[in-house]
Structure 1
Amino acid sequence: MACKMVGGGSDGSLDLCARVCLIDENENIIFHTYVKLSLPVTNYRYETTGIRLEYLRDATPVRQVGKKIQDYLCNGEPIWKIQSRTGKARILVGHGLEHDLKCLEFERPEFFIRDTAKYPPFGVYR
């Protein structure tokens, strides 16, 4: 999973998740959407995000984005089955996932997360 953040707040320093993309292990796009923001954007950070105002006009609400991600990651099973480790779920891989998940208002059991910023086989562990 990868997210692109635009800036909110008076100085544009508040990270707001404006775009989400999920790909599978074969690099096929599974889900891609722009996220409808609850706060006004004060800095689109266009140079790094490529996001413009018009891309967010018909964006998907954040709760709906979370639901679609959850459905895919949990194979349609309820989260309580996944949390009890009795269900089958996909591993979520990305860089800085804690930050991305927080911005998406989305929770995921840690045993189903591989954050390349923290996971030794994928990156530098600090």
Structure 2
Amino acid sequence: MYPPYKNVPAVDNKNPDVTGVVSIAQGDLTGVYNEDHSVKVYASIPYAYGNLWRHPGLYSEEDYELSEIMQQYWVNFAKTGNPNGEGLPEWKMRTADQDKLLQLDTEIKMIDDPNAELYKIIDMYQESTIS
């Protein structure tokens, strides 16, 4: 998915509590993978809604732990506008100077956007078709 990364400075001025896009890369999850082995966005739904129990035997204990963390991020964001909370790995706000993504995996961490260079190419193409 192509994020409007050029709009980050404008968004920062209006809402300083913007978090980066989430990337889910659960290495042992049975599902459909793209080239970098990250799970398609729709595969995150059972994690976010806590519905892993509906498929006994498919998910590991690590999957259930990840689901709990994802649900807590969602609850915190709904309550406060900030997904961070006590006991959770920090999800850094997206700014003009910080464009990393939160990778949700057995280790949750901020990572460089693997598509950053692609966005620049898309921008050049779009700008050339507009003029």
Q: TM-score range, shorter-chain basis?
A: under 0.3
Higher helix share: 2
| Highest RCO, 1 vs 2 (Cα 8 Å, sep ≥ 6) | 2
Higher strand share: 1
**Which structure has the greater CA radius of gyration?**
2
